[in-house]
Copies of this chain bind each other. A is one copy, B any other.
C-alpha cells in the first residue's frame, strides 16, 4: 500500500508555482492576482478563505479579500462581482460558498465572468470540461487528477466507481475519468443515493472516488484487493477530547480498507490540501490567458 500524499504533492505544486512567479517578477511582469469574496461570518468559511489568501501570499501572488456583511443583498453582491469582472488587475476570483439565504447561489455563480472563474463552477466552463475543451477544472477534481498523474496510477481501461453526484466533485469527476487521455480513459460508473446494491458495484472497482460525506461508509468488504482509493469525504466529527472540539474524517474505513488497497489517500492530508494548490494553479492559468488577451 502506498499513500497518495496530498500534503507532499500540494507543497511540490506550490513550490513550482512560486518558482514561476519568481521568474515573472524577474522579468518585470505582473504576477497573478486572486480575489476572494466572502459574505458573512461563518467560521469554517472564514478559515477556508483565510487559507487561500495565505497560500497566495506565500507563493508570491497578489491577493484581495473582499468581506461583505451577512445582510448583503443579492444586488449588492452582483454589483461587487461586476466590479471584479471589470477590474483588469484581477486575474481570477472566487465567491466562497455557502452564501446567506437571501442570495441565489446559482445567479451569483452565473455572474462571474467565465475567464475569471478559477473555481470552474460557471456552466460555460463546466460545459467546456464535459466537451473536452481547455478550461478551468474545479479545484478538487483537478487535484485528484494531479495526484493520480504524479503517482503514475494507471487509469486507462480501469473501472472507476464514483460515489456521490455533487456538482463540485462527483459529477465532474465522473466526466473527467472517462475523457480521452491520462488520467482518464476509465470505464466510469457514477453511483448516488438512489443506487441499489452499491457493494456489488464497488467490489468490481479498480479505482474508487468517494465523495459522500458519510464517515466510515466504505468498508473493507466493499472493495477488492489492490483497489485505488480516493477519499474526498471531509466530515467534522465532534470530539471534546480534542482542543478544536472535533476531528476530521473521511468516507473510508481507512484502517481496514488500506490493508487491501494499492494506493489510498489519507484524511486529512490527501485530497484536501490539493484543492488550494489547484486553485492557485487555475489562477496562474488565468493570468497566462489574461496576458495573451491583452
Contacts and interface: CB of A to CB of B under 8 A. Distances in A.
A157 B191 CA distance: 9
A203 interface: no
Interface residues of A, number: 34
Interface string A52-90: 000000000000000000000000000000000000000
A128 interface: yes
Given A185-B194, A189-B187, A196-B187, A133 B123 contact: yes
B190 A188 contact: yes
A187 B167 contact: no
Contacts of A130: 123, 126-127, 130, 171, 175
Contacts of A122: 127
Interface string A113-147: 00000000011111111111100000000000000
A192 B196 contact: no
A181 to B, nearest CB: 10
Contact of A127 (B126, B186, B191): B126
A196 B185 CA distance: 11
Given A106-B133, A165-B178, A175-B175, A194 B127 contact: no
Contacts of A133: 106, 123
A195 interface: yes
